[in-house]
Amino acid sequence: MNLFTDEVLLDYVQQRLSPTMSQKLERAIQNDSELALRVKNLRCGELPYTAVFAYESLPPVPTHLMEQVHLWARLSMRSISDAASARQKPQAQFFGAKLGAKSNALWRAFSLKGIRASILSALGLSIVLSFGMGAGVSTWVLSSQADDANSWTTAVALYQRLYQRETLEAVNFDAPQTHQLLVDLQKRYGMHLRVPDLQSEGLELKRVQFLALAQKPIVQIAYMPKVGTPIALCVTLSGSRDDQAIHHKEYAGQHMLVWRQQGISYLLIGTQSEQELRQFMPKLQSALWS
């Protein structure tokens, strides 16, 4: 049996070996050139690794990755609190409880069935959106193939409620990316969309992006108000050609103004009151259709 294992040599070089063992090793080194070489190499391999790698200038954590992880963490915590409140108040929180359970189930489904891998590779940066939409969107896809206005607005509301000011604070509007998205939208879905500039209404344009919804696109145009949580205009193709007047809905703490025009469904959503949201409508509609 080799008395001087690699572990023992490491302890010796790092001066953690007992004096007795050290003396034995030093005597052995005198007569064993191979052992001497091992110790020599070990000493030469004692390099300032921490400093060397600390110097290495690595790319920073991508912003979208940070956003994703924050979102997943919040969603994960929220699904627990939903389930907990459902257990505490089964009657009063019936709808919330149902959502909490669904949210958990869909979280598990998303996590376990390999969906995430395909979404990750297929959608790249838009993973935040596809996952954020996961709970509501999957419900919609499973429950109805029709253009059920309740379902897509519910899905968007579940996603929008994850938006806080910090979600968009670090985001800078990316004009080239938005242009490309609009080109793709027209090419793939024949939807010609104008991005309304609502700066005069105190809404800063932050981001335009796709939300994954089965085979249909939802485009989310996110704005940051001067105060309060972000507001979004969401747009999707409608199954119906009939126009529908603006009407108000409320779900998951989100107020929504919903309407349909020329085969396209629109949704303006935020935690702001119905009246506050309605103030943006004249400018918004004129920007969309001018």
Partner 1 sequence: MSDVVALNLPECLPRLWRFALRLTRDPHDAEDLVQRTCLRALEKKHLYRDQNRLLSWLFAIEHRLWLSDFSDRYRHSTDAIDDNGLMQSFPDKSAGPEDIFFYQQVRSAVNQLREPYRSVIQLVAVEECSYEECAQILEIPIGTVMSRLSRARQMIGTQFAPPTSAENLAGDSTVLPFNPFLKRQVKR
Residue of 258, 227, 256 lying closest to 243 (CA atoms): 258
Q: Which of 72, 174, 53 lies closest to 127 in space, CA to CA?
A: 72
- The answer to whether 156 touches 251, Cβ cutoff 8 Å, is no
Q: Tell me which residue of 35, 252, 281, 57 sits closest to 156, measured CA to CA.
A: 252
Q: Does 200 bind partner 1 (CB under 8 A)?
A: no
Q: Site residues for partner 1, window 16-45 (CB under 8 A)?
A: 38, 40-45
In the complex, what is the shortest distance from the CB of residue 24 to partner 1, in angstroms, rounded to a whole number?
18
Q: Sign of dihedral through CA atoms 145, 150, 152, 158?
A: negative
By CB under 8 A, the residues from 210 to 239 that bind partner 1 are none
Instruction: Tell me how far, at minimum, the Cβ of 57 lies from partner 1, in Å.
Output: 4
Assess 118 for contact with partner 1 (CB under 8 A).
no
Please give the residues from 50 up to 79 whose contact with partner 1 meets the rule CB under 8 A: 50, 52-53, 55-59, 61-62, 65-66, 68-70, 72-74, 76-77
The verdict on 170 binding partner 1 (CB under 8 A) reads: no
Identity of the residue, 107 or 259, whose beta carbon is nearer to partner 1 in the bound complex: 107
* CA–CA dist 68, 85 (Å, integer): 25
Residue 191 token pair: 């939807």
Helix crossing, 33-44 with 19-31: angle to 10°? 120
Q: Give me the least distance between CB of 37 and partner 1, in Å please.
A: 9
Q: Which residues bind partner 1 (CB under 8 A)?
A: 5-7, 9-11, 38, 40-50, 52-53, 55-59, 61-62, 65-66, 68-70, 72-74, 76-77, 80, 107-108, 111-112, 116-117, 120, 127
